[in-house]
């Protein structure tokens, strides 16, 4: 029986990727001592160690790793041990070229960076199984072992493969899905453009085409590659479960990552972990906050680990701006506030050679313990120790946003009315409102459980699979408030149109039909009028015919002036709002705040702008995080009559609290 | 003996692409009834039906098509029957991979979109012949059959192929053209860069080169591919002529399409048809007007069919803006006014699946007969019935513009003095003047018949083949007025320089020599002075030495100040004007209007701005089209003393007529 | 014993590329007469003649070349005879496809342009050897022969090859460099990302990778390709030395050309020659001036030949602006002033066919001897005859800039803190100051001899190989002034970090450590304060800790405000200045002028802006060039009491001289 994460690590985990094989053995002890000094309690080891663990086929050398784990354990540092499969060794592809992933032009990827394997290669899966078996057997009972880290950032550089073996696997996958070729023909609509297949062997990849692909085929290719990579993950997972059934397993997810359906993956993992690298230039803090909330939602609110972040700056952007003093700490606390039970970095010691040598680390090139970077690491590591009892605490959301990877794939296919739309940007647009108002948000799958929420938002939910509209209908019928934005309910699971007037499956719930789409050019806009007030809209206008709904706002210009832009419809005990255009942030703020007020949903505390307030609830107490993103100190009024314990200051506070710029307060009550 | 189009379709054709195989048989009857309601009299059937007509090699299934044609015929809808070869079935390329076209990198295109065949594949030509033979035999006497639609938009996605079979075909084509390898070496100038060939097998495609290609070789490759695709067309045409000699044949042309020499193709077609998809955002109505005029000119003024347009919006642009109410109708009448005897759409019923499901159609996804789109279709279809007698009517141009595909190919080759020049933009620049002044224009080939014109314009006619200058000389000598713009007369049919001072073949006609080209940088300009008035020029300055011509304008700035920019030269009974730079639209308006006045060429009627006036002349009467592109109504004065019949209003008018915004009047006199 | 260039050509060489094989024999005599008229004394012949010299394998035809050389010799025109290997004939790659270079995607380049060979092909080297042997034997004693021109612009289009033979050669090169695979693993840091190699055959090219390459591997690939092309050069050189040991050899270099380490190459050449094509639009005259100075520096100040320039305009830019009257002459004199003993053009007669037919030439298409272009050529050619005694004269620099090709390769690898930095732009930035102040500058390798200089500038010298810091230390210790700019001293010869705090090898010389890099975003800036004066900086900020140095300027903004931006450090008899950010041109002008003043380094004469003053010193006299780049005449005061001889005017001048716009004066004293 696999152990719970908060059994294995009952405190906030703190540490990073540790690559001792890149350094002389003489450095290892120094590393362990510095780790102790910095409050490190967990490191990820051996992620890129295949070529040193198995320098020749079937010949394993664990001696160095034995010593590393011993030293770490002696210094109280736990280990998240990797399966070392992230980057296969040169001998493997030399001996078995079929393990190499292949590009669209038929040219194989090569050894020389990392992740050059084909997820569909049987030979690769075999090699992986051999390696993981050896590692699992050797270290399953090691006292330093806390968890198994499978592979690394699956699909990061390479989520598509066009090898012959992948093509055969794609055909097999299709056979399994559709059973008969006639069924496939129907589900892919192959009578269009004479694409009918007579047998499975005629099917090709949706690349090297003279013009537009078949969107149903492309969607299935994306599903297939997600499944292929997921199957590869499962190969490792099964070995580990078999040999060390009690140790939790996971792989690390990524930021804004489209190719993998993380909702599906998370069900097969004991812990959600992810790697976060926001650009300090970006100035959109809601983006990584949203990812924290998404990651926490993947396993129904179970806390996640931030498996990688950087102390200072990365090296893979065009210009790698560094985090200012205090920012790394502040953002780390935002992570913790939103469900992060682990704060880990890539990497422990900054590399001397290789492609990432200018990527920041906990110990910089200077190896100077007095450096700004190490000092900030050390401060945070030692502070986190004071948050005893927090690990495992849950969030408090009454609002949910529907998020769906397959919708993401389908809605961004080419050949749409407006081909510059980004699903993520549409979701961000709605999330931002809640973020800036300090309203907690969960994410749910379209077929997820909505019963815990008062307000559900479904931005651009283009794909509605058969029956999914029922879930939304029931939610509203029972009193929920639903917000749906334009270009929703258009296509089915095959990316075929739901006939019968857009958005066919949602027409009765929304009380309207959309007769036409009127996308706007880049420099085009319109004005909507709502209670006599005007607001600009752009990007898209649905031409709406009301069928029970009432207009909230109407267009003021163009040939469709006077027709509804936003509508509201009472349905059962609840109501559904439809947003048939792209409003301004201000308009959305006003609209959503109205809804929140009606639903009596509010922030934990009132706070000035750019002050992030988040709560986590443990068994017997609530942790209230106050994060000041401003460049000046702020004073926040606390709840009247409550006496809070300020964790970091170690004292009691009430009435109000002043938080310095770029600083955080964590209050328990 | 093949029937004339106006015998087969003595009325304006109205309808669209019809793809019944994408729908359940139950929809077909509904389709036919809606077609009747909409005034549809012609539909294009089976364009993408190969994979259902021949689901296995040599096994044909015409049963569904039999039923479709029967239903259509019963409802009075004629059929333009396609040869179904536009998109080959998957089994063909699976069984015979040599039918696949190949990319520059040697990778074959694949099944999964359309048009993935190599025009040079003998096996593909064989398969095409088999299919067309079967179709022709089965339907040649079908009462619904009006004409044969060969393939579809040849070369649209794929006008170049780099297969081995294509390479062999290229060598054979060259052998036929040049007979000896020494001749080829001379005609390609291969002593440059050591490119001499010892035998035909050493010749490669002009791709995968470390740097600039040989322009003579590239030009021949373009000629070869045009010929290869044309030969493929002829394979089909010959089968059809052989089996059904009385039924007209055609293929559909495209917009701004460079790879195919449509002047050459049109000679081998019974009807010119083309597909027009102007972007409603573009705001350059002269562009598609010019294409109507060009299409009408391809067969010496014979009316053309607009074979495809869209009711609302396409789906293949980044942002697909929709036509506003009335625009589709107005633009359709502009087509008719400029020689269009057919108004057809892609497509009848909007698709449910596939790459074009968001492309507009006559019957939208909602299937709602009250939808705006269907209502506009129905109005137009029923109006067109009132234009009895118009089909076959001719235009009235006294002005011609020289247009040449080979010149297009050659002048846009790399390595020129100014490599951002667009041939089409230069032609548009001159056409626009006539369009905006409602002066009718024909297009002619460089070796075409100029005897019907008073004014001929040759924009950027870089290539002058041996002897072609004689045609221009004779035109001017006999009293014609010729306008030639810069970078004309530079190269011969091989893209070799005409030696002896630019523009050698035109020097005596123009009375000048161009000593140097002085291209201008993007942000550079100059000023010309003409009769004391100044005007800006950019892009290019010829350094002109007069040899009989007189300066119309001279440069005011830069080191060549004072030297001629535009010149005029009396030659025989006429005169030639040379424009050695790129003037403003205003300057060109003034210059050309002066010439038109001298030549007594004027618009049919005076009209406010953005009102398009065009005439078509039938045997016994003239149709006068007044199209109001403004957003307000306009009143146009009619010719004094003439009584006109207003076709659409069904009443007589005289003196003046008011036309509403986005509306049209068609007057007969 | 090879003859010195000024023995072979004791005057300024004047002429151009001559391609008679592209013209009828009847033109050759006309060419020779025009050459005489234009003062031509040297032409480059046979550069692209392989396919006519060896039309079939092993069959040579020199008859035409015999006649050409005879005619030239009769007209007093010397010949720089090419080895004709620049573009291999079609038969060679047809018969031996292994001679073709291969692209990253595995597709071979093809015949049809030029330079499509793989430098690593043994078969190609064999073919080259055969051809060069025949040419050398036949013409070694020809009286017209002045020098051997080997190949042409090596690597111009193709400095990377990915053929199998190249891969094997790469492995062999690595074996030679590293001896053991363990050594390679260490030097490439292959424990990073599991890149360890078990044997040489596992090594691949650093392309077709899913993500970032190994920078050590990439650097070695660049070294390998430089060596491969250099070896190919040596194959030819050895044949020539063997057969005609007294005739100087060279190949022609290029502008801003990164792939080849010209410092290394120059050591193996008897004459440095290069091809200069500045864009007249560019407006940065210091760029080509710098290249003249660099070319002169490649062989320790020995004069170079400008082997190619254009009379008017090239044809390979997007827009090919032409040089204004006088510019070609003025720029040619700037070349001579900076050490050019040859002024040559591509090409003599403008081509009729082929990719370069719109490239300007000495004789334009019109063949008109009165054309502006030919008249300017003729003037210059005849003027240069008056500069007797100048050939061989030397420069006068007291300032040197460190320049290093390997540093260029390494510092522009991906994955850096700031990935938009250009090494050349950083060097230009410092060179510009000296250029605009008419201070002579030499360039030196990092391990070069600095003893002749007072001031040495090392911009962005990222790579410091073991021990190279000693050269800089000794230079400063002995009294020199050194300026080093940011991101210097970071990596070693393998592109591994110098550990121990940036910039480790320079810390003691500079008296500081750089704790962190703070790259700035594109729109970001900071302000530095120096003696109370403010100035803007951008791009980069080093976070400097002083260790003996003093701050010259400190930052005024951002979290590192108050910390040093520029520093100065006394070291031995001299001082070192460190510039830890990117200052404005104005700031650099002020800083550098202060240093020059302290060091008593000044321009030969005071002059108005845009007047270029350069001196060359012959055995017994000094040539003073005064070049007026302004559009108005300028008057320049001469040194008091000195009487100069004005070469071009043929008279004496003193006190002051007036130089017309775009004109030059050459004074001897």
User: At CA A203, angle to CA A199 and CA A206, rounded to 5?
Assistant: 160
Mean pLDDT, residues C212-241: 98
In this model, does residue A276 exceed pLDDT 90? Answer: yes
Measured N-to-C along each axis, helices C122-139 and C215-243 cross at an angle, to the nearest 10 degrees, of 30
Does residue A147 sit in helix, strand or coil?
strand
What is the token pair recorded at C572?
């031995």
Smallest CA–CA separation between B594 and chain C, in Å? 33
In CATH, what number does A611-668 get? Answer: 2.60.40.1180
Smallest CA–CA separation between A523 and chain B, in Å? 10
What is the token pair recorded at A90?
């040169």
Query: What is the rounded distance in angstroms from the CA atom of residue A639 to the CA atom of residue A653?
Result: 11
DSSP category for residue C200: G
Report the residue from C189, C194, C211 with minimal CB separation from A353: C189
Query: What is the rounded distance in angstroms from the CA atom of residue A315 to the CA atom of residue A318?
Result: 8
CA distances in angstroms from B450 to A617, B400, C155, listed in the order given: 88, 8, 52
Is A316 known as a binding-site position?
yes
Measured N-to-C along each axis, helices C26-38 and C372-384 cross at an angle, to the nearest 10 degrees, of 60
Of B23, B81, B44, nearest to B345 by C-alpha is B44
Exposure of A105 by Cβ count < 10 A (0-12 exposed, 13-18 middle, 19+ buried)? middle
Instruction: Find chains touching chain B: ≥3 CB pairs under 8 Å.
Output: A, C
Q: Do B366 and A496 touch (CB under 8 A)?
A: no
CA distances in angstroms from C15 to A309, C139, C307, C338, C361, listed in the order given: 63, 20, 9, 19, 11
Chain A, chain B: beta-carbon pairs less than 8 Å apart? 189
Predicted confidence band of residue B151 (pLDDT cuts 50, 70, 90): very high
Mean pLDDT for all residues in chain B: 97
The catalytic residue positions of C are 153, 308
Beta carbons within 10 angstroms of residue A440's beta carbon: 20
pLDDT of residue A388: 85
Of A376, A290, A370, nearest to A329 by C-alpha is A376
The boundaries of every CATH 2.60.40.1180 domain in chain B are 611-668
pLDDT in tens, A145-195: 999 999 999 999 999 999 999 999 999 999 999 999 999 999 999 999 999
pLDDT in tens, C443-478: 999 999 999 999 999 999 999 999 999 999 999 999
CB of A192 within 8 Å of a chain B CB? The answer is: yes
pLDDT of residue B604: 97
Cβ neighbours of B517 in C, within 8 Å? 322
pLDDT of residue A619: 85
Instruction: Give yes or no for a contact between A501 and B366, defined as CB atoms under 8 angstroms apart.
Output: yes
The boundaries of every CATH 3.20.20.80 domain in chain A are 1-40+272-391
Query: What is the rounded distance in angstroms from the CA atom of residue C54 to the CA atom of residue A288?
Result: 67
Exposure of A142 by Cβ count < 10 A (0-12 exposed, 13-18 middle, 19+ buried)? middle
In this model, does residue C664 exceed pLDDT 90? Answer: yes
In this model, does residue C657 exceed pLDDT 90? Answer: yes
Report the residue from A106, A416, A499 with minimal CB separation from B315: A416
pLDDT of residue C388: 85
User: How many residues would you count in chain A?
Assistant: 669
Mean pLDDT, residues C571-575: 98
Query: What is the rounded distance in angstroms from the CA atom of residue B106 to the CA atom of residue C465?
Result: 44
Helices (H), B143-279: 164-178, 181-188, 215-243, 262-266
A153 annotated active-site? yes
Q: Do B312 and A516 touch (CB under 8 A)?
A: yes
pLDDT of residue C624: 98
Mean pLDDT for all residues in chain A: 97
pLDDT of residue B222: 98
Residue C622 pairs in a beta bridge with C617
The boundaries of every CATH 3.40.50.880 domain in chain A are 399-598
Q: What is the DSSP string of B502-515?
A: BSGGGHHHHTEEEE
In this model, does residue B388 exceed pLDDT 90? Answer: no
Instruction: Give yes or no for a contact between C541 and C518, defined as CB atoms under 8 angstroms apart.
Output: yes
In this model, does residue B405 exceed pLDDT 90? Answer: yes
Phi, psi of C345 (to 5 degrees): -125, 150
Predicted confidence band of residue A22 (pLDDT cuts 50, 70, 90): very high
Select which of B134, B308, B376, B612 is catalytic.
B308
CA distances in angstroms from A475 to A395, A602, C219, listed in the order given: 21, 21, 61
C1-40+272-391 is classed CATH 3.20.20.80:
yes
CB of C640 within 8 Å of a chain A CB? The answer is: no
Mean pLDDT, residues B130-153: 98
Predicted confidence band of residue C619 (pLDDT cuts 50, 70, 90): confident
Cβ neighbours of B212 in C, within 8 Å? 113, 316, 355-356
pLDDT of residue B620: 86
pLDDT of residue C164: 98
Query: What is the rounded distance in angstroms from the CA atom of residue C617 to the CA atom of residue A596?
Result: 85
Predicted confidence band of residue C554 (pLDDT cuts 50, 70, 90): very high
Predicted confidence band of residue A371 (pLDDT cuts 50, 70, 90): very high
Q: Do A496 and B355 touch (CB under 8 A)?
A: no
- The CATH architecture to which B399-598 belongs is 3-Layer(aba) Sandwich (3.40)
Is B156 known as a binding-site position?
no
Of B106, B219, B100, B99, nearest to B170 by C-alpha is B219
pLDDT of residue B174: 98
Q: Do B157 and A211 touch (CB under 8 A)?
A: yes
Of A63, A625, A201, A562, nearest to A390 by C-alpha is A625
Smallest CA–CA separation between A565 and chain B, in Å? 17
Q: Provide the pairing of β-strand B249-250 with B145-149.
A: parallel
Of A234, A307, A245, nearest to A3 by C-alpha is A245
Query: What is the rounded distance in angstroms from the CA atom of residue A333 to the CA atom of residue A377?
Result: 13
Binding residues of C for substrate: 114, 152, 316
pLDDT in tens, A328-347: 999 999 999 999 999 999 99
Mean pLDDT, residues A2-29: 97
Instruction: Give yes or no for a contact between B258 and B151, defined as CB atoms under 8 angstroms apart.
Output: no
Tell me the helix, strand and coil percentages in chain A, rounded to 5.
Answer: 30, 25, 45
Predicted confidence band of residue C68 (pLDDT cuts 50, 70, 90): very high
Mean pLDDT, residues A418-437: 98
pLDDT in tens, C430-443: 999 999 999 999 99
Instruction: Give yes or no for a contact between C92 and C52, defined as CB atoms under 8 angstroms apart.
Output: no
pLDDT of residue C620: 86
Asked if the peptide bond before residue A347 counts as cis, ω within 30 degrees of 0, the response is yes
Q: Does an H or E element contain A508, and which?
A: helix A507-510
pLDDT of residue A506: 98
What is the token pair recorded at A211?
């013009």
pLDDT of residue C634: 98
CB of C502 within 8 Å of a chain A CB? The answer is: yes
pLDDT of residue B619: 85
Query: What is the rounded distance in angstroms from the CA atom of residue B426 to the CA atom of residue C70?
Result: 49
CB of C327 within 8 Å of a chain B CB? The answer is: no
In this model, does residue A666 exceed pLDDT 90? Answer: yes
């Amino acid at each position: 029986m696999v152990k719970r994460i908060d059994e294995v690590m009952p405190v906030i985990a703190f540490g990073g990727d540790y690559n001792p094989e890149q350094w002389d053995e003489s450095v290892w002890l120094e590393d362990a001592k510095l780790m102790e000094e910095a409050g490190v309690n967990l490191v990820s080891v051996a992620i890129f160690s295949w070529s040193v663990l198995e320098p020749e086929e079937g010949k394993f050398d664990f001696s160095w790793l034995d010593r590393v784990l011993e030293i770490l354990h002696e210094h109280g540092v736990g280990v998240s041990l990797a399966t070392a499969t992230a980057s296969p060794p040169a001998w493997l592809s030399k001996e078995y070229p079929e393990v190499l992933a292949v590009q669209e032009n038929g040219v194989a990827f090569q050894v020389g960076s990392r992740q050059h394997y084909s997820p569909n290669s049987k030979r690769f899966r075999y090699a992986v199984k051999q390696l993981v078996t050896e590692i699992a057997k050797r270290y399953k009972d090691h006292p330093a072992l806390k968890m198994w880290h499978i592979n690394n950032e699956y699909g990061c550089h390479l989520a598509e493969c066009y090898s012959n073996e992948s093509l055969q696997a794609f055909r097999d996958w299709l056979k399994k899905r559709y059973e008969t070729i006639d069924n496939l023909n129907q589900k892919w609509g192959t009578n269009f453009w004479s694409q009918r297949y007579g047998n499975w062997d005629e099917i090709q990849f949706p690349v090297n085409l003279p013009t537009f692909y078949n969107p149903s085929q492309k969607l299935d290719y994306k599903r297939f590659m997600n499944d292929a990579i997921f199957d590869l993950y499962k190969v490792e997972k099964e070995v580990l479960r078999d040999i060390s059934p009690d140790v939790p397993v996971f792989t690390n997810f990524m930021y804004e990552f489209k190719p993998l359906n993380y909702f599906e993956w998370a069900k097969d993992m004991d812990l959600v972990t992810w790697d976060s690298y926001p650009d300090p230039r970006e100035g959109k803090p809601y983006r990584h906050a949203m990812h924290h909330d998404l990651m926490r939602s993947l396993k129904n609110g179970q806390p996640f680990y931030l498996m990688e972040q950087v102390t200072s700056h990365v090296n893979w952007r065009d210009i790698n701006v560094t985090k200012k003093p205090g920012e790394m700490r502040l953002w780390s606390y935002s992570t913790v506030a939103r469900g992060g039970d682990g704060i880990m970095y890539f990497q422990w010691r900054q590399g001397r050679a290789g492609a990432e040598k200018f990527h920041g680390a906990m110990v910089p090139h200077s190896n100077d313990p007095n450096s700004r970077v190490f000092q900030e690491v050390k401060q945070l590591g030692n502070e986190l120790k004071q948050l005893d009892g927090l690990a495992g605490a849950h969030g408090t959301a009454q609002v949910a946003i529907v998020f769906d990877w397959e919708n993401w794939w389908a809605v961004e296919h080419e050949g749409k009315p407006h081909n510059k739309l980004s699903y993520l940007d549409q979701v961000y647009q709605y999330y931002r409102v809640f973020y800036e108002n300090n309203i907690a948000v969960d994410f749910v799958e379209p077929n997820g459980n909505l019963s815990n929420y008062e307000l559900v938002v479904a931005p651009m939910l283009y794909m509605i699979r058969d029956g999914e509209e029922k879930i939304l209908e029931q939610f509203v019928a029972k009193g929920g408030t639903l917000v749906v934005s334009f270009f929703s309910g258009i296509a089915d699971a095959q990316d075929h149109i739901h006939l019968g007037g857009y958005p066919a499956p949602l027409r009765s719930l929304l009380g309207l039909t959309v007769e036409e789409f009127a996308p706007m050019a880049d420099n085009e806009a319109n004005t909507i009028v709502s209670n006599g007030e005007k607001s600009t809209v752009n990007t898209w206008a649905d031409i709406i015919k009301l069928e029970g709904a009432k207009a909230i706002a109407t267009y003021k210009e163009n040939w469709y002036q006077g027709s509804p832009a936003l509508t509201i419809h009472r349905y059962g005990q609840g109501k559904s709002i439809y947003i048939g255009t792209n409003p301004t942030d201000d308009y959305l703020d006003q609209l959503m705040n109205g809804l929140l007020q009606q639903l009596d949903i509010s922030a934990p505390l009132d706070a000035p702008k750019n002050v992030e307030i988040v709560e986590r609830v443990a068994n017997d107490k609530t942790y209230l995080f106050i994060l000041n993103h401003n460049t000046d100190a702020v004073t926040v009024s606390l709840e009247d009559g409550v006496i809070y314990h300020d964790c970091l200051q170690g004292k009691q506070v009430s009435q109000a609290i002043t938080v310095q710029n770029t600083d955080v307060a964590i209050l328990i009550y």
